[in-house]
Structure 1
Amino acid sequence: MLMAADSIQKKIKLSNSVLLRLKDGTCADAVSGRLKYATVLVCVGDITGASGLLREVETAHSDIAVESVCNCSGEVEYVPKTGFGDDVLALINTGALYANTCNCLLFVETLKPCFPRGWLDAVFRPIDQRSDIDDLIEYVSLDPKPYFHFVELMLHKELNNQSKALTAFQELEKCVSEEPLFHKDTALVLLSHSLEMDGQVEKAKIIYDEACCLRKRKRGYTSSHVRYNSKQV
C-alpha cells in the first residue's frame, strides 16, 4: 500500500509490480489483505476489481470459520470460538492458519493517497478532536468486519445502488452494536461518518460522542488511535 500511495500521489499508473504485491498480500490472512487491496482499487477507479474482492471477503465471513485476531497492543488477542483453540495446532501444521484468521487493519498517515477522498474523514478522523489539539494520529486500527461493510456501503453509493447501500449500512450498524470488536471506537467513527453522509447529522454526532467517551474510558489502551504530541517529537 505504501508503494501504491507513492504512485497515486505522483499521479503515476500503478505498475504491475505494485499490483502483484497487493495481490500477494491477500494471502496474508482471510480478509484484511483483500480489504486493503480493494481500497486501493476503488481509489484508482477499478470498481469491478474491488467488487470481486469484496465478494471474496463476504464468502470468507460466511463460509469459513474465520477467527478475528488482534495484536495491535503488542499482545495477541482473539474472540474465542468453539473449538478454534483446539484446531490451531492442526491449522499451523497444515499451513491453513492464515486462511482462517483475519487481522486488524492498520493504516498509517502516509497511506492517505490510497483512500478515495470521501473516505478520509471516516478512517483518519481523530477521536475527540476537541481535546489534545496538538496531537497527530500516528496510525489507525480497524476491525475488518465493520470496515468491510463500510467499503461495501461506499461502493454501492458510487454505483448509485441505493437498495444495496441501505443493506450495507444496516449491516454496519448491526455489526457495530452486536459484534465483539477490538476497536469499537473506530468502528463507531465509521458509522458516524456514514450517518453524516446520509444527512443524519444529529444522530451522527451522538455516535461520534459515544466513540469519544469510549476512547476516554480507555485512555491507556493504545491499539485504536495511537498518538504522539508534535511538541515532544
Structure 2
Amino acid sequence: MTPATVTHRVVRDPRKGDRRFRAQRTSPPGGYSTVEEPPATAAPGGEEDSEMRSTIVTAVVVTGLAVTATSAASASQPGAAEIGSASFTTAEIPPQGHCAIGGPATATAQIVSKPEITFGGGTSSCTDTKVTATGKDFELSALLRAGGPRVRLSSFTVTCERAPGQTSANWTYGGMSGIANPPSPVPVGYVSPLRKPDGTVLANAVFNIQDLPGDGSVGLTMLRIDFLPESGLSGAVELGRTSCSPTP
C-alpha cells in the first residue's frame, strides 16, 4: 500500500506578532518542507483580539489497496462523522451530530450543557463520497477544580472523502484556548499536557489520532482529552471523529 501522505497548515493571528507557516510533504516522499509566508496586515484601527486565534488544518491521504482483506470497521460502515462525545466522572454525553452513509444522512446537534462541559451544537452531513461534521462553542471547565485551565474551541470540522481505491480525511479548528497550539506539522497522536501552574499534569490533549487498518480506509479523531488521576477525574472527551473506506 502506498504510504499515507500528511499535510498541515498553521495560520496564526498576525495582530499578535505571530507568523504564518505552510508545511507540505516533499516529493518524492522524504520529509516535510516548511515555508514561512509573509504576514497579513491588520486592518487600520482594528481592535486587537484579547486572545490569539489559530486555525490548524491537517489532511491524511491514504492511497492504494495493497491487500484484499477488509477490516470489520470498514466492512460495516463505509463512512461516518460526529461532533464528539464525553464520558468522565461528572458527565456522560453521547455522540453528538452523528451521521453515516446509509443513514442518518444529516444531523443537527443542539447545545448540550452538563456540569463542567458544554457542546455548543453543530451539524453533520454524509453522502456516498463525503462525510463531515462541524461543531462550535465547546467548553470544558472540569480542570478548574484542580487548578487547571479552562479549554475552549470556537469551531472545528472533520471530513472524510472516499473514491475508488483511496480515502482522505482532514480536520480544522479555530478559536482555541487552554491548550498550547500543536506544532506544524502535527505528528500523529501528538500530546499536549494540560497543567496546573506548578507544572502538575492534570490531563493530556491528544491531537490527530489516526486509525489506518491497511485496506485503504481511514479513521480520524481530531482531539481527545484524557483525564489523569491528579485531576480527581477519570475518563475522556473526544472532539471531531470521522472515518470512511474506499468506494467499490
TM-score, structure 2 length as denominator? 0.20
Bigger proportion of residues as strand: 2
Larger Rg: 2
Bigger proportion of residues as helix: 1
